[in-house]
Amino acid sequence: MSNKVVHALYDDDDVLLSAVKTIRSEKHHIEEVYTPFPVHGLDKALGLEDTRIAIMAFIYGCIGLCVAVAMMNFIMIDDWPQNIGGKPSFSYLENMPAFVPIMFELTVFFAAHLMVITFYMRSKLWPFKKAENPNPLTTDDKFLVEIELHDNEKALKALLKKSGAIDVSIIEKPE
Amino acid sequence: MYTFPNKLRNLAIAFMVIGFLGLAYGFITAPSTIEEAKAMVASSHGDGHGESHDAAPADSHGEETSHAISESHETSSEEHGTTSHEEGHDTSHDEHLFHQLSNKPWAALYVAAFFFFMISLGVLAFYGIQRAAQAGWSPVLYRVMEGITGYLLPGGIIVIVILALSGMHFNHLFIWMDPEIVAHDKLIAGKTGFLNLPFFLSRAVFFLTGWSLYRYFSRKFSLAQDEANDISNHKKNFRISAAFLVFYIVTESIMSWDWIMSIDPHWFSTLFGWYVFASMFVSGITAIALVTIYLKSKGYLEFVNDSHIHDLGKFMFGISVFWTYLWFSQFMLIWYSNIPEEVTYFMTRIEDYNLPFFGMVVMNFIFPLLILMNSDYKRINYFIVMAGIVIILGHYMDVFNMIMPSAVGDQWFIGAAEIGGFLFFLGLFIFVVFKELTKAPLLAKGDPYMGESERFHY
């Protein structure tokens, strides 16, 4: 199995999108696309699976809600009941309206932070990690499509040129 | 062009007839004397509102008894002034009861009339926002929205007629309209500069005129744009929509104080206008979704795709959450500060209206939240219709909870008059809206954003 890949560079997101569609319709396997910003509709054009992070967000939110309920119950009811505004301090339910903002905030807090952490883990990102992008231009204004090569160099190159690539190069990938 | 199907027309007329009979029954069975009122309550006690009494209120404060005293003092002084309170409590109570029971069919009529009027006003605001924002996704729905706002003028006239009848003392919905009460009530007397009948009615007429004028011109420009070669009509529509939105948010606030909050003239809440706005906005958007899905199921609106439904679903979801935010904000501040003249509002609702008060939170918040949270479900008509029907009924309950406690106290009951009122105005609403839809092509083909809207996909 060769570890040669083709790098095709594009300078417009609409051209990239239509190029991705042509490349995929010609049954070439796109390894990865590097873009300077999220391109709307690219995930569908690439045929990526739908993200499941929404499900995780819901679960994280539920965890946050439970933590808030348990936390306020411990702080304000069990451990140190306080008389605030004459409200009864010995029943969680009767004090519940006062805790709703905290329940809401912790729901959002848990959902947001755990979602970001999940995203980092799934994307294999961590602090001080070396950047994976093969061409620094993709952090500026260019788009790069990486395609696996199987002895079809000429046809693929022609196809990429036709699809609007401004530069096509063959790269030997170090393992 | 859309033709009003006979089946739907007959259904609308049937709703109106059944609703009219229900309302008529409600008015006929309302007591005409204090003795009748006493007899009615004695015979039906226990089954009517029994369950709402023993359901313990969630916020029974430490000083509940003192509240209960100030509360009963409050309500009785609302009706009769404070003079006869000490002596003859029994007779004043019976008279109070009589007023509540004779108010009941009127309140049922008013709740339903206001609710369906509010839907079309909410749609008008939504339409104005789409126009002013030059939205690219929604022009395919303009004709549906214009159809629903067709109910604005007839619905508004009915509401104003009911208000005028209250002013002529056909009922006691607005106690500040009774000079006897104002004379004995310092709080209301202090508000007569604003709450007096001529000013009240002229405000109402002024508001409705303003909204209807916007509706009239916007519709006119929208129709003219269909045949136009340039986009001058579109630009005019943009300008008047921006102006309308400013006018709307001010007048809508004042309208909510006038038409709803003044039913309980001792009580006030500064975010009430927003609260009513959220309610009308979400019911309006839901009505757009339901009418759109209905028309689509009959083979019309072939240019509306599931991305448009998805966007309406997002709005239904988002504004439901927004409504809950305002509902809770209003509740929590008043609950926490526990000032007697403010907290009576929620005391009566939690004690006497426990089921509708918390039931509507389930219908307006928890159910739409859970069912519309999933992105895919917002594209499935079945889910939108299911959530939509619950939201519409939930916001009817919301208006019910705003008006009934001050109008009929603990004598509420969802009976012939309430269901009849709902059905009557539902029938009228369907009749007027679908009649209006037949008057113009369902595609506003001249709109410069129509291409974008037809290609819209998510």
Each residue's pLDDT tens digit, A29-42: 888 899 999 998 89
A98 contacts in chain B (CB < 8 Å): 332, 336
Identify the pLDDT of residue B2: 87
ipTM of the complex: 0.81
Beta bridge partners of residue A144, listed in sequence order: A9, A34
CA A83, distance to chain mean position in Å, is 46
pLDDT digits (tens, 9 = 90+) for B208-225: 999 999 999 999 999 999
pLDDT above 70: residue A95? yes
Among B432, B2, B450, which Cα is nearest to B215's?
A: B432
Amino acid identity, position B57: P
Of B60, B62, B375, the CB nearest to A54: B375
Rounded to a whole number, what is the distance in Å from the CA of B87 to chain A's nearest CA?
33
Cα atoms in the Cβ-side hemisphere of radius 13 Å centred on B162: 22
Quickly tell me which residue has 């606030």 as its tokens.
B253
Q: What residues of A are in the B interface, CB distance below 8 Å?
A: 54, 58, 85-88, 93-94, 96-98, 100-101
> Does any domain span residue B326?
yes
Interhelix angle B64-80/B89-132, nearest 10 degrees: 90
Identify the pLDDT of residue A175: 60
pLDDT above 80: residue A52? yes
What are the backbone angles phi and psi of residue B227, rounded to the nearest 5°? Answer: -105, -5
CB pairs under 8 A between A and B: 31
Identify the pLDDT of residue B58: 40
Q: How many residues does chain B have?
A: 458
Identify the pLDDT of residue B346: 93
Rounded to a whole number, what is the distance in Å from the CA of B51 to chain A's nearest CA?
20
pLDDT above 50: residue B43? yes
User: Within 10 Å of residue B37's Cβ, how many Cβ atoms?
Assistant: 22
pLDDT above 50: residue A132? yes
CB-based contact B58 A96, cutoff 8 Å: yes
Is A175 exposed, middle or buried (CB count within 10 Å of its CB: 0-12, 13-18, 19+)?
exposed
Using alpha carbons, list the distances in angstroms from residue A61 to A64, A96, B365.
5, 18, 17
Among A42, A41, A16, A12, which Cα is nearest to A141's?
A: A12
**Domain extent at residue B191:** 6-36+95-449
Identify the pLDDT of residue B292: 96
Quickly tell me which residue has 């009509």 as its tokens.
B233
What are the backbone angles phi and psi of residue B157, rounded to the nearest 5°? Answer: -65, -40
> Does any domain span residue B327?
yes
Identify the pLDDT of residue B89: 58
β pairing state of A143-148 and A4-10 = antiparallel
B61 contacts in chain A (CB < 8 Å): 86-88
pLDDT digits (tens, 9 = 90+) for B223-282: 999 988 889 999 999 999 999 999 999 999 999 999 999 999 999 898 999 999 999 999
> Does any domain span residue B139?
yes
DSSP label of A73: I
Identify the pLDDT of residue B134: 93
**What's the mean pLDDT when you consider all of chain B?**
87
Domain count of the fold of chain B: 1
> Does any domain span residue B60?
no
Among A148, A146, A173, A162, which Cα is nearest to A34's?
A: A146
Identify the pLDDT of residue B29: 87
